[in-house]
Amino acid sequence: MKKRILIPLMAGLALLWACKGKGRAEYEAINNSSSADSAKIDSAATTQPKLVKTADISFKVKNVQQTAERISALTVSCNGMVVHHQMTSTSERSQDIRISHDSVMRVTSFNTIANMTVKIPQAKLEDFMNQVGRMGIYINNRRMDITDKSLEYLSSQLKLKNRAELVAQQKKGQVIIKKPENVLLLKDDMVDEQINNLGINNAVKNSVVTLSFYQSNAINKEIIANDDPSAYNLPLLKRMAMAIENGWEVFVDVIVGLTNLWVFLLAGAGVWMVIRYYRNKKSVAMVKA
């Protein structure tokens, strides 16, 4: 009887001990995994900080064209690259001064501005900004910003590693992903994280500098043809001679036109004579009466 009671009791204790052992093993596995992740984060956090520097400067110069050429040359010497360059000239006022009957001198006041965007190696950014600042008459605005992308880079790096481990486990059959499109989405996410980290590395390596410069209004003079048709009239005497000649031609045309109407003139003369004859005859009859 005692043996019957003792056997189930020992079996229950063994089962309880096994469950405790299994739970402890799972706890240790989770704890080890968490410790490993923490170790990875701590290890990654000790990498070099990802500091992104951007700058912009606005200044006045003597000559926009020459300054743009100097900035381009300076950018090349710093192993940088010009990624945007735009120069615009706007006419403020214009006046035409007549210098002959067919020519005028056009005087134009215009304003010229330029905008440039360049990429400069971060180590040479300060020197570049100082040299550009010395090109201007005075500086309207100069600014430099530093953005720390370390945590964003670390987040992308850890996500990429986790996704890579999951894909590796899926290839080995340790993890089963039922929908193939989920595998494709996972790989696309890995590409996005890689591109994001490449973008951060490029932004850390090369600083983006925005430059805006302008000059005082300039005057441009040019001799151009007079575009007013009334300025090309002939002299007075020549115009009078042409008027007399045109009048004679008109008179001749009238005579020729009347000559073409000789039949109508003859018929009109006949009608007039008949009417006159009857009037005279009527007058004579009235006198006799």
pLDDT in tens, 223-273: 888 777 766 677 778 878 888 888 888 888 888 877 777 777 788 888 888
Burial 145-183 (b: 16+ CB within 10 A, else e): eeeebbeebbebbeebeebeebbeeeeeeeeeeeeeeee
Lowest mean pLDDT among 7-16, 120-129, 146-155: 7-16
Q: Is residue 18 predicted with pLDDT exceeding 70?
A: no
- Distance CA(164)–CA(115), nearest Å, equals 44
What beta strand segments (E) does 122-261 contain? 138-148, 206-214, 218-225
pLDDT digits (tens, 9 = 90+) for 158-186: 888 887 887 777 777 776 766 667 767 77
What is the number of residues in the chain?
289
Confidence band of 117 (pLDDT split at 50, 70, 90)? very high
**CB-neighbour burial class of residue 238 (10 A; exposed 0-12, middle 13-18, buried 19+):** exposed
Instruction: Fill in the DSSP letter of residue 261.
Output: T
253: tokens are 């045309």
The H or E element containing residue 160 is helix 150-172
CB 56 within 8 A of CB 84: no
Query: Nearest Cα to 169, choosing from 158, 159, 179, 161?
Result: 161
In the block, which residue shows the tokens 């001799």?
223
Evaluate whether 225 touches 102 at the Cβ level (below 8 Å): yes
Tell me how far apart the alpha carbons of residues 41 and 156 are, in angstroms, rounded to a whole number. Answer: 12
- Around 100, how many Cα atoms within 13 Å sit in the side-chain half-sphere? 5
**pLDDT of res. 288:** 66
C-beta separation of 132 from 233 below 8 A: no
Task: Give the residue among 92, 93, 90, 140 at the shortest CA–CA distance from 112.
Answer: 90
What predicted TM-score, i.e. pTM, was given to this entire model? 0.60
pLDDT, tens digit, 9 for 90 and up, residues 29-87? 434 444 444 445 445 444 688 999 999 999 999 999 999 999 999 999 999 999 999 99
Contacts 24+ apart (CB under 8 A), 75-78: 75/118, 75/120, 75/128, 78/120, 78/121, 78/124, 78/127, 78/128
Residue 9 pLDDT more than 70? no
